[in-house]
Amino acid sequence: MSGSHFMPKDSNSRRLLMAFLVTAGFMVIEIIGGLISGSLALLADAGHMLTDSAALLVALMAVHFSQRKPNERHTFGYLRLTTLAAFVNAAALLVIVVLIVWEAIRRFMMPQPVLGGTMLVVAVAGLLANIFSFWLLHRGEAKSNINVRAAALHVLGDLLGSMGAIVAALVIMKTGWTPIDPILSVLVSCLVLRSAWALLKESFHELLEGTPQEINIVALRKDLCLNIPEVRNVHHVHVWQIGEQRLMTLHAQVIPPHDHDALLQRIQRYLLQKYRIGHATIQMEYQHCDMPDCLINEVSSEPTVHAHHHHHH
């Protein structure tokens, strides 16, 4: 709402873009290095790099689309695209994990030769790239947006992946024991799996118009009645989230106020301060509301009408 939201955007997106280019570039190097050296751990780490570049890309998209103005066809703007992108990204990651674990099992049966030296060089370079990206993302404003924070976490997970590849390379160079490579590739895949699963759950919840995790609707209804004495009953509550914007509709049964608009404003201000709900549509009623609580899943209450219709067709 306020101007402060748009101030740091450009520095945020500059850092995101830099980190994205570094990460995506190194992902390509790791894939090539993994194929040349025959190391699965490097390929697993490249898979992890892919999650990061995707996370960074989603963050960049979010920054870009949050500046696009809503229009008549898309009254919420284009922020849902970022949720959709996160969902697709997470689903793709799950597929990558399955492929890597499958390949790891195959390599246990038939160990493949691995070039430890090549692997070490690539893994160390990857580690440095990750440290650089992490530094880029963390240098920013402390309260940089949720996407930048998510991206920084991704990169942190990636540091662990590169460490895994380095350990595997050292073991292979010292002892020539190649099974360490698939073992560590599976461990790295577990890291990927964790972040992918969390992302999948969160984006799926948002796509289903789920209530944001930290909001408890039962508590919210009580809160409103307790804190605003004129409010007697709150029902038909729907809360959902688009990008970082929270939206809400509700019915409030109130004692007829002297100043209708002032009461409305108090309710809205309370929702904004306590629950960060920036856009609430409130229907105020003086009598008890007779409508059932949510008509979305309910069939019309006159079954006879429907029965007649069937005879006509």
Domain boundaries along the sequence of the chain: 3-207, 217-309
Rounded CA separation 280/264 (Å): 10
Q: State the pLDDT at residue 213.
A: 79
CA 59 to chain centre: 9
pTM exceeds 0.85, yes or no: no
> Closest Cα partner for 157 from 59, 29, 54, 9?
54
The answer to whether 40 and 100 are in contact (CB under 8 A) is: yes
Separation of alpha carbons 234 and 273, rounded Å: 18
Task: Write down the H helix ranges in the chain.
Answer: 9-37, 40-65, 80-109, 116-138, 146-175, 180-207, 217-227, 260-275, 303-312
Burial category of 270 from C-beta neighbours within 10 Å (exposed 0-12, middle 13-18, buried 19 and up): middle
- Three-state secondary-structure class, residue 208: coil
Q: 217-309 architecture in CATH?
A: 2-Layer Sandwich (3.30)
CATH of 3-207, picked from 3.40.640.10, 3.90.320.10, 1.20.1510.10, 3.40.50.720, is 1.20.1510.10
pLDDT per residue of the chain (313 residues) written in tens, 0 to 9: 444 444 445 677 788 888 889 889 988 998 998 888 888 888 888 887 887 788 788 778 777 777 777 777 777 777 777 788 778 878 887 888 888 888 888 888 887 788 888 888 988 988 898 888 888 877 755 455 666 666 776 777 777 778 888 888 888 888 888 888 888 888 888 877 887 888 888 888 888 888 887 888 898 998 889 888 888 889 889 998 887 788 999 999 998 888 889 999 999 999 999 888 888 999 988 887 766 554 444 444 444 444 444 444 4
> What span, in angstroms and rounded, lies between the C-alpha atoms of 12 and 2?
17
Q: What are phi and psi of 257, to 5 degrees?
A: -85, 160
Task: Provide the 10 A C-beta neighbour count for residue 141.
Answer: 12
pLDDT at 251: 92
